[in-house]
């Protein structure tokens, strides 16, 4: 074998077989639009706020999942728009590296559709999440057309989820519903209550305090009209 041929062979092997470390940076491309970014942040902030006292999950958006140690090609890593892994340590990560995480794959994946990604999300990724990731709950949502669908893994195949009366879809893994609210995908409790963002909850608490204060002021004014000292009540 000539030196040139040997170098060519080595180069081919190097390109095809790379044994990566477990500490890999995510290399996801930019999101399609500002709306996609806002949707991902909304899902992430709501779930982390709801589960703020839990340390047994990992949630991320637009982050690479590496799932093959043999080589680093496009078919061996994917970057879901939003995913949740249960029964794992809650900490920051550069990426999700399956072989460094006890072989864990996401329990829930949500893809935010766009014109350029819809076909892949509905076909290639759906098959990958079903057959390789074995992700129990998979959802997709289009923030422009409001198309929303969900699937649950049953006997190795994704089965379409049926919406409830509010058109919400149940995630067995999260113990929450997902549904469209004011044009964006949101989480809902088993009772159908909207899972708030931290800001929404703070506003709600402020409004409740203001209502309580107004009621107290009206009651005090009424008592004074009746010549009753409010402090004696």
Tokens, residue 161: 């989820």
Looking at residue 93, its pLDDT comes to 92
- Chain Cα centroid distance, residue 141: 12
C-alpha span between 123 and 154 (Å, rounded): 18
Looking at residue 16, its pLDDT comes to 44
**145-163 per-position pLDDT tens digit:** 999 999 999 999 999 999 9
Looking at residue 119, its pLDDT comes to 82
Q: What is the pTM of this model?
A: 0.75
C-alpha span between 179 and 167 (Å, rounded): 7
**2-19 per-position pLDDT tens digit:** 434 433 443 443 444 444
| DSSP class per residue in 34-72 | HHHHHHHHHHHHHHHHHTTT--SEEEEES--EE--SS--
CB atoms within 10 A of CB 77: 22
pLDDT tops 80 at residue 213 = no
CATH of the structural domain 19-195, one choice from 3.40.718.10, 3.90.1570.20, 3.40.640.10, 3.10.20.90: 3.90.1570.20
Which residues, in sequence order, are bridge partners of residue 110? 82, 139
Check: CB of residue 37 under 8 Å from CB of residue 90: no
pLDDT tops 80 at residue 49 = yes
Ordered by start, the domain boundaries in the chain are 19-195, 196-233
Looking at residue 70, its pLDDT comes to 66
């Amino acid at each position: 074998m000539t030196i040139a041929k040997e170098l060519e062979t080595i180069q081919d092997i190097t390109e095809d077989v790379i044994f990566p470390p477990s500490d890999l940076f995510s290399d996801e491309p930019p999101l399609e639009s500002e709306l996609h970014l806002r949707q991902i942040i909304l899902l992430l902030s709501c779930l982390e706020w709801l589960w703020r006292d839990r340390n047994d999950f990992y949630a991320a958006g637009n982050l690479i999942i590496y799932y093959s140690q043999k080589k680093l090609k496009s078919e061996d890593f994917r970057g879901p728009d939003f995913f949740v892994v249960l029964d794992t340590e809650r900490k920051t990560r550069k990426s999700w590296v399956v072989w460094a995480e006890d072989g864990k794959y996401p329990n829930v994946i949500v893809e935010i559709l766009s014109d350029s990604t819809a076909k892949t999300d509905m076909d290639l990724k759906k098959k990958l999440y079903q057959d390789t990731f074995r992700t129990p709950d998979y959802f997709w949502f289009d923030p422009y057309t409001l198309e929303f669908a969900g699937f649950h893994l049953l006997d190795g195949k994704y089965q379409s989820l049926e919406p409830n009366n509010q058109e919400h879809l149940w995630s067995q893994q999260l113990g929450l519903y997902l549904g469209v609210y004011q044009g964006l995908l949101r989480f809902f409790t088993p009772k159908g209550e909207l899972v708030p963002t931290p800001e929404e909850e703070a506003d709600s608490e402020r409004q409740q305090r203001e209502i309580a204060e107004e009621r107290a002021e009206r009651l005090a004014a009424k008592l004074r009209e009746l010549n009753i000292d409010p402090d004696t009540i």
